[in-house]
Structure 1
Amino acid sequence: MLDFGISVSPCGKITAQMLNHLKKDMTVDHGKTRSLLNGSRGPLQEISNRMVTQRPKGFKDPNSFSMEVELCQAFSEMLRGNIEDIDAGDREDPQMCSDYVKDIYQYLRQLEVQQRVFPFYLDGTEINGRMRAILVDWLIQLHARFQLMQDTLYMCVAIIDRFLQAQPVSRKELQLVGVTAMLLAAKYEEIYPPSILDFVYMTDRAYTPTQIRATEQKILKELNFALGRPLPLHFLRRIAKVSDASAESYLLAKYLMELTLLDYNMVHYNPSEVAAAAICLSQKVFSEGQWAVKNKYSSSKFLRISTIPQLNSSSIKDFAAPLLGEARQLM
């Protein structure tokens, strides 16, 4: 049983400024604007250089809102025309869902907000960030021992955070919640999930199958059976495709993302934000981590990405210095 006794405290957008300049210096004939959307002329050819007639103060043009909408649509169409369709080559692969992949990710962006985790949700409870980190580190080792899918680990941690912010537990129950969350995530993601008895054995029989089943029911009821929270991996795969990331850059981004699972100060960031930050950082500088995550990514299977010499560069230390100072204050 884990010891938690350590006490440690859509497309291009038209800005309002652009619209103001357009309304001030130009006027657009509505019939011509509609022709923009039909593709009969280029958008820039339709904009006149005539000055807008000065209106009395407080006068509201009933057509102004319609004109702004049409201008936004016209400029948006013009900007989208130069964007490469990265899904064009996937038309023949039904598993890539190229016809509605954009709708899928739009839905995931909405869902990650609906099922968000709030910052400092452990305040006022028996559990603190250090205890959570110990639990997650142990679950990473458990995950590797069972050779489960990567998505299972992220879902497990998401279930833990969402449950603990809604239903605080005692220190002695924390590992029970963790192992049950891993069981739920495995059932959701894996073809052949480990059995309850496997988890009982991995906890050195600290908990019984009956206790795990009861906690499973408690978690599912608290989360209203809504386990499909988007994961950082979902967004990382999409971002890596858009950015045409190399295998090394992609693996480093995965390493950085997995490090965030241990960090209590990162729980409130949306999965899409974590993925975007990880791939951005992996393409600029390299970072070094600790815990079981570093050992996992030091194997040849992951190209020993956590042991590369760039991880000790001065640039990453400069990046991390302000954050490390904040973390010490929070502790």
Structure 2
Amino acid sequence: MPNHLKKDMIVDHGKTRSLLNGPRGPLQEISNRNVIQRPKGFKDPSSFSMEVELCQAFSEMLRGNIEDIDAGDREDPQMCSDYVKDIYQYLRQLELQQRVFPFYLDGTEINGRMRAILVDWLIQLHARFQLLQDTLYMCVAIIDRFLQAQLVSRKELQLVGVTAMLLAAKYEEIYPPSILDFVYMTDRAYTPTQIRATEQKILKELNFALGRPLPLHFLRRIAKVSDASAESYLLAKYLMELTLLDYNMVHYNPSEVAAAAICLSRKVFSEGQWAVKNKYSSSKFLRISTIPQLNSSTIKDFAAPLLGEARQLM
């Protein structure tokens, strides 16, 4: 019997044995043993500590086979190599807490096309002021998070957009543009007083929590892990920025957008495959990820509806 099947059977046998040793139904085993009734949810401390030890041992085993990409950054304090894994774990938690919901504009005066026009204008504004790319992503994130929580009229949409850009610039830039600069760029459609009032409204609604994880944060990490070329990295940045205009993309987590962008970019430049495909292309896993059946007409027929939807959105 092949080794991989033996291992699967051992795992399945272990699961079956644990089920047999678990709580029984009304017709319990007839024996002379004293059955100790324990409260529901009770967990033996010794078994719990054993689970912790097993989890730690398994985690150490996995880490032992993974290259430490941060090893060369120990002497650079700006890379935060000692904390980088914890930082990204926190960012993954934070992006779930600050999610933008799909189709959040339904039932309002504003639609996806109006949002796209606003973002397109903000991209021009961002380029005119020569701001950091992080500022643009944060600006759009602020807009989406605010619009899904507050009803905004068409007349106020540009005001919300320019105020979001001001807030993002204050957060990200060393020398942000002044409020008068933004008044000028709107052709004096809004006064400094209106922008300040909207600024207070946005900050109150978002509870001053502006630090949402951005796709750029995750792209930088993924590009390092995958050893992406400069061309692949720039193409991924371009693809990500295109998603800012797309209302159908607002609900995807920043980490998902970054992963999809670098994946597509690497496919365009034929820069290798994801680690999972490489893993299952080894003889240990019978090279299952390289079998021709994965490119068969059956698989393509399954994927056709999804590919059709993607083309319609483009």
Provide the rounded CA distance (Å) in 2 between the counterparts of 1:43 and 1:248.
66
Change (3 A) 1:288 1:78: closer
Offset of 1:72 from its aligned partner?
3.6
Length, aligned pairs only: 314
Change (3 A) 1:55 1:182: closer
Change (3 A) 1:308 1:284: farther
Change (3 A) 1:288 1:103: closer
Runs of at least 4 residues of structure 1 off by over 2 A? Answer: 18-76, 285-331
Structure 1 counterpart SS, 2:82: coil
Gaps of 5+ in 1: 1-17
Q: Encode CA deviations 1:185-230: one digit per residue, 9 max, x unaligned.
A: 0000001111111111111111111111110011001001000000
Provide the rounded CA distance (Å) in 1 between the counterparts of 2:294 and 2:51.
49
Structure 1 counterpart SS, 2:11: coil
Offset of 1:125 from its aligned partner?
0.3
Provide the rounded CA distance (Å) in 2 between the counterparts of 1:80 and 1:182.
41
Change (3 A) 1:308 1:31: closer
Offset of 1:143 from its aligned partner?
0.3
Offset of 1:170 from its aligned partner?
0.3
Change (3 A) 1:306 1:228: farther
Change (3 A) 1:173 1:310: farther
Partner residue of 2:18 out of 19, 35, 47: 35
Is residue 28–residue 48 contact of structure 1 (8 Å, CA) maintained in 2? Answer: no
Task: Give the equivalent residue in structure 1 for 2:265.
Answer: 282
Partner residue of 1:291 out of 268, 274, 281: 274
Is residue 232–residue 257 contact of structure 1 (8 Å, CA) maintained in 2? Answer: yes
Provide the rounded CA distance (Å) in 2 between the counterparts of 1:299 and 1:150.
40
Q: Provide TM-score, normalisation by structure 2.
A: 0.73
Q: Encode CA deviations 1:9-36: one digit per residue, 9 max, x unaligned.
A: xxxxxxxxx9999999999999999999
Please identify, of 316-325 and 112-121, the stretch whose mean Cα deviation from structure 2 is larger.
316-325
Is residue 255–residue 293 contact of structure 1 (8 Å, CA) maintained in 2? Answer: no
Offset of 1:79 from its aligned partner?
1.9
Change (3 A) 1:29 1:328: closer
Provide the rounded CA distance (Å) in 2 between the counterparts of 1:313 and 1:30.
34
Change (3 A) 1:44 1:238: farther
Change (3 A) 1:130 1:53: same
Identity of aligned residues (%): 96
Cα RMSD of the aligned pairs, angstroms, is 11.9
Change (3 A) 1:311 1:67: closer
Provide the rounded CA distance (Å) in 1 between the counterparts of 2:2 and 2:169.
51
Structure 2 counterpart SS, 1:46: coil
Change (3 A) 1:276 1:264: same
Is residue 297–residue 303 contact of structure 1 (8 Å, CA) maintained in 2? Answer: yes
Is residue 28–residue 46 contact of structure 1 (8 Å, CA) maintained in 2? Answer: no
